[in-house]
Amino acid sequence: MEDFLYFFSFQDSSILFIVMGITLLGIGSAYVGTFSFLDNKALLGDAISHAVLPGICLGFILAGEKNPFYIVGGAIFSGALATFLSSWLKENTKLSEDSIIAVILSVFFGFGIVLLTMIQKTGNPEMAGLNQFIFGNAIGILEEDLWVYGSLSLLIILTLSLLLKEFSLLVFNAEYGKAIGFPMKGIRVVFNILMILSVVIGIQAIGVVLMAALLITPGAAARFWTDRLGTLLILAALFAIISGIVGTYISFIIPQMPTGPWVVVSLSTLALISFLFAPKKGVLFRFISRQSYLKKTHKEHVLKSLYKAMEKQKSGLQIQELLSMYPVHKTETLKSIKTLNKINQLTVKEGFIELNESGKKEAKRIVRLHRLWELYLNEYMNIAPDHVHDSAEKLEHLITPELEELLDNRLNYPKLDPHQENIPRDHDDH
């Protein structure tokens, strides 16, 4: 608790600095990553982030110490080389995109690990910090490094905001952009540079192995909540900031704990929450709406059966009779009877069920939709009368009043369905 207060009260200016840095980093990489996610190029970010490792090591070897400019320069160089190579291979060979990305990722990362091991063998005392580039350590970032990463993040955010319309065009319809004379190839190059930069700014805080998660997961999680690009970008940035700060905090309270994995854990939690609970697209929402639809169908089946009994001149049905009609759904049918009784659509007296006035009206509506649809299938789609029932069983729960009106109109307000059964209407006698 003490640690918590110490960290979040920001009385330590170095912590404040790091949190600000992580915030900028989160916004920058979430912005770029959301676009590459929308462009279905999520794997490219993973390849680039692995590919910057040899550049970092080369920068270190050249400088002989952990100089941020050398390291960032080296990372940009090898990231750019990887990006260039992957597009060159795509244009000049018949290899598929995923195999190219797999090759680039493993070759560059493997080479990077070779260099890293070589540096370890030299016994350079500065070496200790270099391991942080694999899984990241936000707390270990020096203030001078922070200035470099922070200003690069700002550059990314500004460029993206300035070119928002161009990047949307690139992702949605690049060919059209070319047709109206926009330099789409140049815009693609700028985007790739931003992608490399956003990987580079994250290497020390998050690490090369897990940087792709900070690029892609925020956008993917935010996509569950919204269909608007603006909201999507803001939400993605927010997710990235939250998980960045969580990761940093854990690195702060547990010494030697890398930041990257904790950022990924908290991002995944946010993604899981989105996947489960987001309205409309979330699993829970879809489950609930399916359940309530099923409930509605069970109720409508009960009403329909009672109405059909009335057509056979019975006043109602015994509960047992009704249950035997739906042997698989006995519990649901019993529940439906209870609810319908509660909303006063039917009356149960000593195990005998009768429809009330409002229930009869509703039952008529369902039977009418069923038979109208059967007639439509028969007349307009030339489907034999003995083949139309199954489709009508489903559509009777779905057809809206507008569609009903349209059907009635097309079929010229018919009286009989293909089985010569009456299509019931509200003003009928019974």
Partner 1 sequence: MIQQVENPILEIHDLTVSYDQSPVLWNVDLSLPEGKLIGILGPNGAGKSTLIKAIMGLVQASGGYVKIFDKDLDQVRNRISYVPQRESVDWNFPASVLDVVLMGTYGKLGLFKRPGKKEKELAHSCLEKVGMSAFASRQISELSGGQQQRVFIARALAQEADLYLMDEPFAGVDMATETAIFQLLQEMSKEGKTIVVVHHDIHSAMSYFEWIIMLNLHLVASGPKQEVVSEELLRKTYGGKLNLLTKVTDLIRKKEFNPLKN
Residues engaged in binding partner 1 (CB under 8 A): 38, 40, 162-166, 168-169, 171-173, 175-182, 223, 226-229, 232
Q: How far is the CB of 178 from partner 1 (least distance, A)?
A: 6
Tokens of 184: 């789409």
Q: Of 61 and 171, which has the nearer Cβ to partner 1?
A: 171
Q: Of 38 and 340, which has the nearer Cβ to partner 1?
A: 38
Q: Of 165 and 290, which has the nearer Cβ to partner 1?
A: 165
The three-class DSSP label of residue 424 is coil
Tokens of 159: 């460029």
Whether 366 contacts 401, CB under 8 Å: no
Give the Cα separation of 370 and 396 in Å (integer). 5
Q: How far is the CB of 403 from partner 1 (least distance, A)?
A: 15
Q: Of 147 and 380, which has the nearer Cβ to partner 1?
A: 380
Tokens of 11: 């009385």
Q: How far is the CB of 150 from partner 1 (least distance, A)?
A: 24
Q: How far is the CB of 168 from partner 1 (least distance, A)?
A: 7
Q: Of 184 and 375, which has the nearer Cβ to partner 1?
A: 184
Q: Of 228 and 330, which has the nearer Cβ to partner 1?
A: 228
Edge-first strand order for the sheet with 346-349 is 316-318, 352-355, 346-349
One-letter amino acid at 246 equals V
Tokens of 242: 């939250």
Give the Cα separation of 234 and 229 in Å (integer). 9
Q: How far is the CB of 181 from partner 1 (least distance, A)?
A: 4
Q: Of 14 and 231, which has the nearer Cβ to partner 1?
A: 231
Q: How far is the CB of 308 from partner 1 (least distance, A)?
A: 36
Neighbours of 66 (CB within 10 A): 21
Q: How far is the CB of 78 from partner 1 (least distance, A)?
A: 30
